[in-house]
Each structure stands twice: as C-alpha cells, then as structure tokens.
C-alpha cells in the first residue's frame, strides 16, 4: 500500500491551516523522556528495559499540533522469552470550535516485532471535548472513525475500517508532582488494539523531572500479544 507514507505529509497541510492563527500568540514546546530498568533473578534471568519518547507541540489560537516519536526495547536473556521491541511515530492536529470542543485529525505508524505485521498505520478523523479543565485536573476525550493499514508479514496487506477512542487524564497532585494517563482503543474487524501509558512525574527543577512509567499494549489480532513494561527515567521539558 504505497500511499501510506504520504500520510505523514499531513503536517505540511496543517501548517498551511495554521496561517489563520495569530503567530504572535502561538507557542512551541516539547518534552524528552528516557527510561531504563535492569532486573535480575535466580530463575528468570536478567532483563534490560529501555524506553525513549519525545514530543513537539505547537499551540495557536485555533489549532494545536503534536508530533511524537517513541520506542521501547526489552532484552531478556532467557531463550524461551521473546524480546520486546517496538517503535511508534504519530501526528495529531486539533481545531477548536468553542472553548472546549474540537475537531481532531490523527495519524500513526507503528512497528512491533512481536506482532504478525511488518508495520501498522492508521489515519482518523473525529470530535473531541475537554470534559474537565481545572487547576488540578484535566480530562479529554476524542472519538471518531478511521482507516488502518496492516502490512502483514506472511499474508497479503489489508485495510480495515476502525473506530478510535482516546482518553487523556492529568492530575496535579502537588506543586511538583503530577500523574499523567493516556489510553487509546482501535477497534476493527481484524483486531482491537488497546494502549495505555501511565507516568508519575516528580519535578527536580523547572525543566527536569524524575519519572516512573508503565506502558501497556494488548493486540488480539493474528498473534495475540499483551505487553506491560515498567521503567524509571528522567524527563526534560523545553
């Protein structure tokens, strides 16, 4: 399916749309996370977990954009245990109408070595709402239809209509402590893919924080895979 790489030209289209924003009031900001855990047991062997994630955000008067790249690697020295390795790139654009309502455009590409796919990618359109927006709590929901392309290793590629649901929740526990949760569900005829990310962040300085992370993915497709990964790390905000 050769048109899927063109999906990631959509940020160029969105940049044209951003011309309606007042660039004097627009802001750019980003985040870099890096995490690692080494574990060892007498029966389970040793395991090394690496996690990396970066995001770049643009916020204007009417549009917001987010570009994200992340990767997870779990190397296990037990021969019977498969290593975990996956990479993901995403792009999201939101156009606000009213104070808390927005249209959303989302694209994503993922390569997961444990799955039966060479890669999967999707594009979706939908509606969203900032349901809760207070000083200490923020909750946002997005939903809409999309199209997922599955480049399968042993079978012919397949396109599958999907329904996408996305939930974001931020809890400011104290002045220097925050809990972040993100989850998505991609429901199609071939499979339902659920992803969750939980992060507890403790600020050290204004731009550096200690993090405790849990990443979870469940894919009930051709090869039913379920992965949960813990890591400790540092986060840098710019």
Cβ contact 214:197 at 8 Å: yes
Half-sphere exposure at residue 191, Cβ-oriented, CA atoms within 13 angstroms: 22
Task: Report the pLDDT value the prediction gives residue 47, as an integer from 0 to 100.
Answer: 75
pLDDT digits (tens, 9 = 90+) for 158-193: 899 999 999 999 999 999 999 999 999 999 988 899
Alpha-carbon span 157 to 119, nearest angstrom: 10
Domain ranges of the chain: 4-237
Is residue 25's pLDDT more than 70? no
Query: What is the mean predicted confidence (pLDDT) over 127-140?
Result: 98
Give the residue from 49, 110, 103 showing the smallest Cα distance to 75: 49
Q: What angle do CA 32, 37, 39 make, to 5 degrees?
A: 175
pLDDT in tens, 37-81: 876 554 455 678 899 999 999 988 888 999 999 999 888 776 545
pLDDT-derived band at 137, boundaries 50, 70, 90: very high
Instruction: Name which of 185, 210, 183 is nearest 197 in CA terms.
Output: 183
Decide if 69 contacts 92 (C-beta within 8 A). Answer: no
At 18, the pLDDT band (50, 70, 90 cuts) reads: low
For tokens 């047991």, the residue is: 41
Average pLDDT, rounded, for the chain: 86
Q: Which residue has the tokens 């939101």?
A: 94
In the structure, what pLDDT confidence band is assigned to residue 16 with cuts at 50, 70 and 90? low
What is the per-residue pLDDT for 109? 95
The pLDDT tens digits for 78-117 are 654 557 788 999 999 999 998 899 999 999 999 988 777 8
Residue 206 has pLDDT above 60, yes or no: yes
Provide the CATH number for the domain formed by 4-237 in this structure.
2.40.160.40
Share of the chain above pLDDT 90, in %: 59
As a whole number of angstroms, the distance between CA 149 and CA 108 comes to: 10
* pLDDT confidence tier of residue 207, bands split at 50, 70 and 90: very high
For 84, other C-beta atoms within 10 Å of its C-beta total 21
Quote the CA–CA distance of 95 and 106 in Å, as a whole number.
12
Tell me: pLDDT of 8 over 60.
Answer: no
pLDDT at 30: 97
Strands (E), 60-191: 63-76, 84-97, 101-112, 117-133, 137-152, 158-172, 177-188
Token pair 């809890």: residue: 171
């Amino acid at each position: 399916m050769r048109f899927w790489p063109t999906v990631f030209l959509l940020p160029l289209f969105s940049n044209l749309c951003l011309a309606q924003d007042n660039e004097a009031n627009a802001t750019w900001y980003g985040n870099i996370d890096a995490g690692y855990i080494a574990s060892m047991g007498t029966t389970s062997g040793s395991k090394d977990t690496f996690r990396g994630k970066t995001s770049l955000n643009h916020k204007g008067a009417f549009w917001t954009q987010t570009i994200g790249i992340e990767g997870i690697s779990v190397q296990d020295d037990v021969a019977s245990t498969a290593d975990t390795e996956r990479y993901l790139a995403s792009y999201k654009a939101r156009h606000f109408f009213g104070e808390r309502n927005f249209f959303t455009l989302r694209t994503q590409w993922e390569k997961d070595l444990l799955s039966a796919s060479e890669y999967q990618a999707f594009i979706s359109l939908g509606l969203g709402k900032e349901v809760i927006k207070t000083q200490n709590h923020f909750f946002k929901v997005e939903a809409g239809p999309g199209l997922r392309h599955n480049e399968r290793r042993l079978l012919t590629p397949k396109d599958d209509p999907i329904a996408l649901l996305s939930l974001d929740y931020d809890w400011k526990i104290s002045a220097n402590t925050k809990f972040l949760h993100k989850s998505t569900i991609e429901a199609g005829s071939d499979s339902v893919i659920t992803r969750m990310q939980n992060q507890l962040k403790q600020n050290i300085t204004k731009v550096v924080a200690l993090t405790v992370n849990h990443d979870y993915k469940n894919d009930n497709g051709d090869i039913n895979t379920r992965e949960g990964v813990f890591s400790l790390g540092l986060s840098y905000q710019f």
